[in-house]
A and B are shown apart, each in its own frame.
Chain A
Amino acid sequence: MQSLDRLKESPSQTAGPYVHIGLTPNFCGIGGVYESDLGATMVNGETKGERIELRIRVIDGAGAPLKDALVEIWQADAGGLYNSPAELRGTADPNFLGWGRQPTDMETGVCLFQTIKPGRVPFRDGRLMAPHISLWIVARGINIGLNTRLYFSDEAKANAEDPILARIEHRARVATLIAERQGDSYVFDVHLQGVKETVFFDS
């Protein structure tokens, strides 16, 4: 028989306790190598869309927020377009990459993103998904990066028709993906374990 000739994906390994050295060196006191930490600033004066702040915490199985985690987010622009070569529907806002990276605060465990509210993006069948932001979380003790999404509490109607949220069998768990609006901020706690465990994705 012939071989399918496929390679295996490189196995993941934890980012470890010193992930900041590689991904946010300025944050951990290694100055002068890079001008600034990549992904630290997502919007400029020209970026289109409603300014929002995300206040994210990652909470372990004992209820303590992680103070050594790193969170990356990926989202569409205000018009629902991704700034990516694989986006074939149009050209995204040139003033918005749609990607950000932040460490959790070493004292409080809070991780802050200043960004914009994303527009709606179509699902595979053309139906619109609710506005959402993709998250990827790494830290010491996490063997493979965790994927999930953040949806918005003030988008109840869109959330109710979202095809991904609709796939969650235990309906009470949908709430784990919905950030709560508090003023101009959205507060989102990611629970790694326990009764409030966040729905993580394999996609």
Chain B
Amino acid sequence: MAEPGSNRAPETGAFFQRDRQWHPPAFTPGYKSSVLRSPQKALLSFDNTLSELTGPVFGHAMLGELDNDLIHNFARPGESAIGERIIVHGRVLDERGRGVPGVLVEFWQANAGGRYRHKKDGYLAPLDANFGGCGRAITGEDGGYAFRTVRPGPYPWPNGPNDWRPAHIHFSVFGHGFAQRLITQMYFEGDPLIWRCPIVGGIRDKAAVEALIAMLDMQSTIPMDALAYKFDIVLRGRRSTLFENRPEGN
């Protein structure tokens, strides 16, 4: 079976090892919730088996027409969400720089005032009756995806006495193998709150933080309608199987 939406043969090599110095560690005491939720023992390392090399793939048929339009997918007919209209677009790539086609990307965010539509969010900023805050897309042949939304507001959160999250969009990404599964957040170029955020601060390498900051992309804006930000996401790449021993029964 070819890869979804592709004439490329499916790749079956093991994934490159995760660079755990690049990711935030489990225990980041500046982010208080991590203190009791971080494993403390060594992880069990092993080369991927079929259970990690395989993973679910979703077809474009599952998508509704407005799934990638957060301005309208929760709004009453003829109405739209309040806020600065933006397009977020980019590619899902692997560590070899190749686009990853046919992967489900899900995103969620606060509204323009920084308020989530969730019973546990009690921030003063009002809900927007026309904004739900979730959307999804499936990458095309080149790994590209795009959606339309409003720019989320920053919001205060209970951690330190006065901690604020920078404006951000949460991303959940599937690859073609369960070991590629990733959740991350996209930040916006120029936001001074990025460098004050304890969650961002769990990432030790400045270059790694910068990999999560989307740039304003004037070439992709829609004049008189929406600004655009470009956000590429990189998933684990696979080792080549060209000269690999073929295990029995595989």
Binding site for B on A (CB under 8 A): 5-23, 25, 28-30, 32-35, 38, 60-62, 66, 68, 72, 74, 76, 82-89, 97-99, 121-126, 129, 132, 134, 136, 138-147, 149, 164, 167-168, 192-193, 197-203
In the bound assembly, the distance between CA atoms of A98 and B56 in angstroms comes to 8
In the bound assembly, the distance between CA atoms of A183 and B41 in angstroms comes to 32
Question: Considering only CB atoms, which chain A residue lies closest to B50 in the complex?
Answer: A121
Asked if A136 and B133 sit within 8 Å, CB to CB, the answer is no
Asked if A192 and B51 sit within 8 Å, CB to CB, the answer is no
* Interface size grouping (class) on chain B: 35 or more
Cβ–Cβ < 8 Å partners of A66 in chain B: 37
Asked if B52 and A134 sit within 8 Å, CB to CB, the answer is yes
Asked if A203 and B24 sit within 8 Å, CB to CB, the answer is no
| A124: contacting residue among B38, B47, B134, CB under 8 A | B47
Asked if B22 and A9 sit within 8 Å, CB to CB, the answer is yes
B164 near A: Cβ within 8 Å? no
Asked if A7 and B170 sit within 8 Å, CB to CB, the answer is no
In the bound assembly, the distance between CA atoms of A66 and B36 in angstroms comes to 11
Asked if B24 and A33 sit within 8 Å, CB to CB, the answer is no
Cβ–Cβ < 8 Å partners of B34 in chain A: 14, 141-143
Given A8-B95, A32-B74, A144-B23, are A85 and B52 also a contact pair (CB < 8 Å)? no
B248 near A: Cβ within 8 Å? yes
Asked if A25 and B134 sit within 8 Å, CB to CB, the answer is yes
In the bound assembly, the distance between CA atoms of A63 and B201 in angstroms comes to 27
B11 near A: Cβ within 8 Å? yes
State the Cβ distance, B81 to closest chain A Cβ, in Å: 12
In the bound assembly, the distance between CA atoms of A61 and B93 in angstroms comes to 36
Best-buried of B26, B121, B135, B212 by chain A (most CB within 10 Å): B26
Asked if B55 and A74 sit within 8 Å, CB to CB, the answer is yes
Given A18-B108, A88-B10, are A193 and B40 also a contact pair (CB < 8 Å)? yes
Cβ–Cβ < 8 Å partners of B85 in chain A: none
Cβ–Cβ < 8 Å partners of B47 in chain A: 124, 203
